[in-house]
Amino acid sequence: MSQANSPVPADDRVREVRHEAQITDLADGREAEHRRAHPRYGVDLDVSLGSEHNFYAGFAENLSAGGVFVATHLLKPVGEIIELSIHIPDSEQMIKGTGEVRWIREFNEASDVPPGMGVRFLELEPGAEDVIEQFLARRDPMFFDDEDF
């Protein structure tokens, strides 16, 4: 039997390197303080975002009482403060406020997850928290244990 056709023990096989989406997080060394405080819910909502220099739209893929993940290719730097408006179906009120970009997930064509930003709410307009809670009460939470908001 030639060496090319000989079986290779499992321990000697070269593992294929997987290139997943890269997440960039705040690097301040206080991991325990950045653990999620609110359950996250899968959603499909339109989001408008603004900063000092521009305005653009994205899609909210998940939402919690503490923040939102916005799927977008137009990533802002971690730590940037942005204005946001989220349209909630079956509600006349928009969720409006400001948030801080806590982490970003960069585009990677080898990954099936979209790029985007995890945004922690800093300040919401009066009544917005009630709208979020009522909307989320009709959904089952997702499970995440290591992202912040």
pLDDT in tens, 109-133: 888 888 999 999 999 999 999 989 9
Is the residue at 1 inside a domain?
no
Residues whose CB falls within 8 Å of the CB of residue 93, separated by 6 or more in sequence, listed in order: 127, 128, 131
Helix, strand, coil percentages (3-state) for the chain, rounded to 5, are: 15, 40, 50
The boundaries of the domain holding residue 72 are: 21-28+36-140
Q: pTM for this one?
A: 0.69
Residue 143 pLDDT: 56
**Is it the case that residue 26 has pLDDT exceeding 50?**
yes
CA 135 to CA 74: how far, in whole Å?
A: 27
Out of 5-19, 47-61, 63-77, give the one with best mean pLDDT.
63-77
Q: How many domains does the chain divide into? A: 1
CATH classification of the domain holding 50? 2.40.10.220
Q: Is residue 131 part of a domain?
A: yes
Q: Which residue has the tokens 């006349």?
A: 92
If you search the block for the tokens 């499970």, which residue do you land on? 143
Question: Would you state the pLDDT for residue 29?
Answer: 45
Residue 83, in any domain of the structure: yes
